[in-house]
């Protein structure tokens, strides 16, 4: 038969007991998965682990709806548009109208800069970031 004082003493012992600390190997790390859309105070998204398949990863590199999307495919796409616009600039300058040629010259420069920016962003910066994959 345990008295109320014994129970109180047991509770006090439990409260001040030295709990065994787990070793670093046993400790778990909280890793937020996915993007909740929440933002930090400075407006940047909360850092999270994006959990995806290899198919989605390759798709994210290949499929781009437009050149501003910023992936490997957009580099090639912008380079292709650059060549097309350069050819059209030369053709329109000599055989159509130099005002029309100016429009294509503008587009040539736009796509050249798109190519450079997308390469710097998607290939150099994004590609240089770490990726954890199955060995």
Question: What is the contact surface with another protein in residues (CB under 8 A)?
Answer: 35, 45, 47-55, 57-58, 61-62, 72, 123, 126-135
CB of 81 to another protein, least distance (A): 21
- C-alpha span between 104 and 85 (Å, rounded): 6
- The tokens for 46 are 């909360």
Which is closer to another protein, CB of 62 or CB of 106?
62
Which is closer to another protein, CB of 20 or CB of 31?
31
CB of 63 to another protein, least distance (A): 11
Which is closer to another protein, CB of 21 or CB of 133?
133
| Residue that is written with structure tokens 């007991």 in the block | 17
- C-alpha span between 110 and 95 (Å, rounded): 23
CB of 119 to another protein, least distance (A): 11
- C-alpha span between 97 and 89 (Å, rounded): 10
Which is closer to another protein, CB of 9 or CB of 35?
35
């Amino acid at each position: 038969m345990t008295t109320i004082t014994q129970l109180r003493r047991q509770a006090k012992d439990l409260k001040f007991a030295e709990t065994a600390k787990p070793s670093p190997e046993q400790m778990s790390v909280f890793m937020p998965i996915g993007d909740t859309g929440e933002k930090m105070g400075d407006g940047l998204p909360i850092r999270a682990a994006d959990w995806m398949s290899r198919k989605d990863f390759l798709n994210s590199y290949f499929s781009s709806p437009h050149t501003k999307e910023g992936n490997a495919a957009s580099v090639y796409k912008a380079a292709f548009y650059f060549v097309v616009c350069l050819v059209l600039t030369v053709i329109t300058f000599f055989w159509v109208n130099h005002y029309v040629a100016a429009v294509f010259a503008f587009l040539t420069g736009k796509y050249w800069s798109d190519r450079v920016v997308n390469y710097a962003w998607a290939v150099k910066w994004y590609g240089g970031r770490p990726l954890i994959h199955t060995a």
